[in-house]
Each structure stands twice: as structure tokens, then as C-alpha cells.
Structure 1
Amino acid sequence: MSAAAKIMAGRESVRVAVVQTPPVFLDLERSIDKACRKIAEAAAGGASLVVFSESWLAGYPYWDEGWNSNSHAWVAVRSRFFDNALLIPSAQSQRLCEAAAQSGVTVVIGCNELDARPGVHTLYNTMLTIGDDGRIMGKHRKLRPTFVESAFWGQGAGDDLYVHETAVGRVGGLICGEHVMTLARARMISQGEDFHIALYPGAFNVWSGPKMQVEDPDGSHFIGYASCRAHANEAGAFVICAVGLIDEASIPADFPMRDSLNISYARGGSMVIAPAGVPLVGPMYGDTIVYADCPARMIKLSKAIIDTNGHYGRPDVLSLRYHPEERA
């Protein structure tokens, strides 16, 4: 291996794309149709790495639930949520794999995943990574669903915190609130990411009210941006922050829990951040594909100043222990 080949698989530059568009809400088949079209469109735009936001397949649970929910509405929505979850592997996931292979791109997509084991019916908030050859490289289940998300998804086992060797370099990622789990980020950094994928359902402000998640129009309060910029600097990697987009027109007219929807903060805001922690592109809003060209030299220059796993590390003072590897 040459020195150049150690960064971004030897490429001088990689064009990345964030598909910032609504899914077909709680309709897995039609959402996969749309995902396949958007993968081809992003590839035609020159992208080699294509990213979709958190639980894009087939929609983040933007509605409220509790013991006081209308039981008839709850049953209808939960049945639809279950029926439109993704099994991995399955005929549906294979369609995504074929789309990635046909376009020759690496794809990372958030999904509501149903546990495939017989007798187990738990859903997970999952990040699926597919190589440019159409092979499933890995899936990561969110370690700890945030706050009321625990009503929808189970906890990931944590045995999937791995960076993948792809045609564009080493690709890792985390989902939304995992970016405030310092040790989870340290685990990804320790494996030498070239690209870190950060998936979110929207760019939200939790400080001003009246709801706990409201639109953050200028990006001044969204903790995701702060976490992503810090991660880019600490990892010496490009961070692709893919933020969800949904609107009233995307919600079916017959959606039973429409009155409890909170989608005002899900208007996009995706961005790509350079290894120095400075945004290359974005935040960008609305229905679009966000492109960014990522030069390998930016990683090389960042590592010359701060190489977190090398000359800037002090393993004699501090170390990270990853328990799943200890149990293996």
C-alpha cells in the first residue's frame, strides 16, 4: 500500500451526496422505489457516496404517543409502522443493494428495521451500509433510543460499532443522539474514519419552546451541528450530516394520529463538514440533493496537526475499552 492509498482508498477527491427528500411516509415499497431513483440521480450527479437521513425507510415517528393515546388511532398507526419496517436481508433490502451496484455507489440509509429472528418482533433504529458492489457491509442499531423513541425502538446490542472499508475509504457513522455518547464517538474515531455519517430526523431547537422540538431556522441551537463539527475536528474526517425532511403534503390524509404530529423542525438542514470542523456545504434546506466534493488533502493536512490515534494520542494515559470485542 502506498501512503496515498491510506486515505480515502487512494482517491484524490470524493463527491458525496445527501438525499434530502421525504420518503413515502410509512410505505416501504414506494419509499424503496424512490430511494432507488434518488440513488441513480445522485450517481448521475457524480456522487460516489450517497446518504439518506435517520429512519428514512419508511419514516421517522414524528407523532406523539402515551397511555392517553386514542386506542383506535394507536392500533392503526402501530400496525402500519410494523408492516412497513425493513427486514435485513430481504427482497426489499436486495433492491437497495441492486440500486447501489447498478450505480456503482456506496449507500448509507437510515431505516426502521424489524428483527429477523423467529419469535422476535422488536424494531430498531438502524443505519444500513451497502457497498458499491451491492454487498451489505454492515448495519448499526442505535444504542439508546432517545427519550420517547424508546416507545418505538429497542436498544442496539452495541456489537456493530465498526468502520467499513469501502471503495471511497473508511466509512463509519452514528445516529442522532449517539453523538452525545462520548465513548461511542471515541470508538468510531479509534478506527480511523475518512467519512463519518451522522443521521438526524430534523434540525431542532429544544430550548425555546413551546414544544420540546421546534424549528431551528439559523442552526444556532441545533446540538447536532456542534457535535458533528467537533467530531470532524477530533476524527480528522469528513462528517456528512444528513437531516430529515417531511412536510404536510407527505403525510397521508388518512393518517390516524395527524393531530399529534410535530414535523415543523424536519425541513432539512443537511451539511458536509471538513476535517477542520468547518462546513464545506450547508446547512441546506428543502427538497434537494446536497453535494460536496471532499479532497483527500484536507484529511492529510488535518492529521499533520492533530492525529488523534497517532502523535496526538496518549494511550499510556487514556484508553478505550470496547466490551463486545472482549466478549467475542
Structure 2
Amino acid sequence: MTADKSPSNADYLTVGLAQIVPVWLDRDATINKIARWCEEAAKRGCDFVAFGEALAPGYPFWIALTDGARYESNLQKELHAHYLEQAVQIEAGHLKPITDVAKQLGISVMLGIIERPTDRGGHSVYCSRVHISSNGVIESVHRKLMPTYEERLSWAIGDGHGLQVHRVGPFHVGGLNCFENWMPLSRAALYAQGEDLHVALWPGSVKNTEATTRFLAREGRSYVLGVCGLLRKADIPADSPAKAMLENCPEILANGGSCIAGPDGNWIIPPVTGHEDLIVATLDHRVIRRERQTFDQTGHYSRPDVTRLIVNRERQTLVSFRDSID
């Protein structure tokens, strides 16, 4: 049965999970591809569409396959320099094709990027989650708090500035990158802002989404979208700047695993693997209100008089200038 999404029944939101292959290490081509998938999501009635972690210009798979920790390696320096060149600089307007589509079609977008921000000097990159409103405004940029394992050879550590939720239809939407979804205090920071639709962004691994998505939904009594990318050896051209990794490269680097769990912790759509797909579902906010009857982690089942969380959302910078006024 098709849900009634008329203005008189405002509890519904149609979401899309775009599980796609990036044009790996090509920022502009990948951003243009993301914009096309946003258009497809809008055609299929989506109010909101999400994409995986580090999708533009891609996840640094070469680190684990080319002795990425070797000090003063010319190969690693060249790969890192190319990564910085292809990273997204929001201040330069690199996301404009996506913000334009969001505004034109009235669709909200969440995506994962490798960000090279000017407020940190412009020569380090961050794994960032970007939320774009349906009027084309970038509402928040969350830089991953702690890169995981070998990611630390490439990505800098983020801050709490982007630990924000945003209203999309009847929902309050938040999102975290990859292993951040295992950080209970980061989740609590979003829960406390009324989050009831959580997006867990991953580079693409069913072992992660299958293990965490249902638990996160049950804990948060929220809908959880586990959204992933996809990358296969065949997707990497022979002349790629990272061609050195092809010698030791497995056939599948990221196998997808995008999925949706409901507020009771049960699957709405179990993990989808192995191919590009736009996964579409209509979510009913009333289900959240039902599940919060027994457990509301920052409402009636919280004890702020006993345990409380302090979150620093100041954007971290190295220097603060105070210029004199003549």
C-alpha cells in the first residue's frame, strides 16, 4: 500500500540511499555523478537522499596496499599530493552542482566527502559529513572526530562543530562517519538534539552495517540508514595515480551493504551488496513515537541529575586574530 504523503498526513518521509561507485580520485566527475543520482532520487519521490563516507573523491584504499606507513616515501607523497588536489574545498564552490540540484528539486542531501578546508590552512584533509537542505544551503559540515587505524596516515582529526541535527520533514536528521557510529558519546550528542533519523555513513562493508545498524536503531528508537559506497578492482583504471596498489588489490574493496532498520531494531531493508542501487523507502514518524513509549534515551529514561554530557561545538582553528581598528 502506498503511504499517503499529502499535507494532511505529515508523518511520512521518503528517503533514498544511493549506493554508488565513485569516479575514484576524480572530484569533479564524482560530484557530477552524485548530482545525477540526486536527480534520480527526486524522480522516485525522495525527500532526502544519502551517500556513503568519503565518496568524493574516494576512500584512500591505497594506504593498506602500498606500504602506506613507509616514512619519506616518494610514492606516498605523490599519492597524498594528488588526494589533496582532488579533495573538496567547499569555499571554492566544488559542491555547487549538488547544492544547485537540491535547490532546484527541493531534496535534502547528506554525503561524505574528503574536505580540504581553508580554515585549517588548506593542506590537510578531513573525512567530512555534509548536510544540504532542500533549498540548497549547506547546513553543517561534520569532520570525523577520529580517523580509524591507517586512515590517520591521510586524514586529520576533526572537531565537534558539526555534531548537529537538521529538520527534514517530520524528522530530525543527524549522521556520523564510519566508526564514529560506535562512539556512544557522539551518538548521545545527536540523540539529545532530538535525532530520530540517523545516517551512518560507511565506505562500503556489509560486515559493518549488518553488525551495527539494527543495534543503533534499537538504542536510539530511531530509523537508521546505513549508507555505503562501492568499489571494485575493475573500477580503478590502469593509469590511476594509485595504480601501484593494483598488484596487491583484491577484486572487491568495498562491497556496499546499504540498509535501513526501524525504531524497533528490525530490518526494513536488509543490506544490499555487490551493485549500484538507489534504495527507496517511506518512513512513518508515528512508529518512533510508539517505540519511545518504553524508552526515550534523552527524555523520560534519562537522568541528567546523575550523568550529563558536555559537547564542545567550537570549530577548531590554530590561531585567532584580533586586528586593531584604526
Question: Do these two structures clear the TM 0.5 threshold for a shared fold by scoring above it?
Answer: yes
Report the Cα distance in structure 1 between the residues aligned to 2:248 and 2:91, rounded to whole angstroms.
33
How far apart in 2 are the matches of 1:313 and 1:263?
Answer: 47
The answer to whether the Cα contact below 8 Å between 2:142 and 2:159 also exists between their aligned partners in 1 is: no
2:237 paired with 1:238? no
Tell me if structure 2 keeps the 8 A contact 1:202–1:268: yes
Could you tell me which residue of structure 2 aligns to residue 247 of structure 1? 232
The separation in 1 between residues aligned to 2:291 and 2:253, in whole angstroms, is 33
Give 3-state SS (helix, strand or coil) of 1:304's partner: coil
1:43·1:103 contact (CA, 8 Å) conserved in 2? yes
Shift of 1:104: 1.0
Q: Give the share of equivalent positions with the same residue, in percent.
A: 33
CA deviation vs aligned residue, 1:83-130 (integer Å, no higher than 9, x gap): 110011332212211011112111000000002237441100000100
Q: Give the aligned partner of residue 308 of structure 1.
A: 297
By how many angstroms is 1:245 displaced?
0.5
1:190 is the counterpart of 2:179: no
User: Which of 248, 272, 295 is the equivalent residue of 2:284?
Assistant: 295
Separation in 1, partners of 2:142, 2:25: 21
Distance 1:118 1:124 in 2: 10
Q: Distance in 1 between matches of 2:71 and 2:249?
A: 13
Please tell me whether residue 259 in structure 1 is matched to residue 247 in structure 2. Answer: yes
Find the aligned partners of 2:266 and 2:19 in 1 and give their Cα distance.
21
Please name the residue that 1:214 is paired with.
none
User: Which SS does the other structure have where 2:212 is aligned?
Assistant: helix
Q: TM-score with structure 2 length normalisation? A: 0.86
Give the SS at the match of 2:104.
helix
Deviations along 1:106-165, whole A, 9 cap, x unmatched?
100000000223744110000010000000110100000001100111000222211122
User: Residues 131 and 167 of structure 1 are in contact (CA less than 8 Å); yes or no, is this contact kept in structure 2?
Assistant: no
- Structure 2 residue identity aligned to 1:201: P
Report the AA paired with residue 95 of structure 1: P
1:140-179 matched pairs, under 5 angstroms: 140-167=142-169, 169-179=171-181
Seen in structure 2, the aligned counterparts of structure 1 residues 136 and 189 have a Cα distance that, compared at 3 Å, is same
TM-score (norm 1): 0.85
- Secondary structure (helix, strand or coil) at the match of 1:117 reads helix
Residue 323 (structure 2) aligns with: none
Specify the code of the residue in structure 2 equivalent to 1:294. L
Q: How does 1:1-328 map to 2 (within 5 A)?
A: 11-63=10-62, 64=64, 65-68=67-70, 71-117=73-119, 119-167=121-169, 169-203=171-205, 222-255=207-240, 256-257=243-244, 258-261=246-249, 264-285=252-273, 286-324=275-313
Cα distance in structure 2, aligned partners of 1:133 and 1:190: 26
SS of 1:240's equivalent in the other structure is strand
State how many pairs are aligned.
Answer: 301
SS in 2 for 1:47: coil
Matching residue's letter, 2:163 = L
Give the Cα–Cα distance (whole angstroms) in 2 for the partners of residues 242 and 263 of structure 1: 21
The residue that corresponds to 1:216 in the other structure is none
C-alpha spacing 1:70/1:254, structure 2 compared with 1 (3 Å): farther
8 Å CA contact retained: 2:196, 2:223: yes
Hey, which bits of structure 1, 4+ residues long, moved more than 6 A? none
Unaligned runs of 5+ in 1: 1-9, 204-218
Q: Distance in 2 between matches of 1:69 and 1:252?
A: 27
- The runs of 5 or more residues in structure 2 that have no matched partner are 1-8, 317-326
Cα separation, partners in 2 of 1:263 and 1:92, compared to 1, 3 Å: farther
What is the Cα deviation at residue 305 of structure 1? 2.0
Render the CA deviation track for 1:231-262: whole Å, top value 9, x for unaligned: 21222211110022011222121123223445
| Structure 2 residue identity aligned to 1:249 | A
Is the contact made by 2:175 and 2:199 (CA closer than 8 Å) also made in structure 1?
Answer: yes
Counterpart amino acid of residue 26 in structure 2: D
SS at match of 2:291: helix
Deviation of 1:312 (Å): 1.5
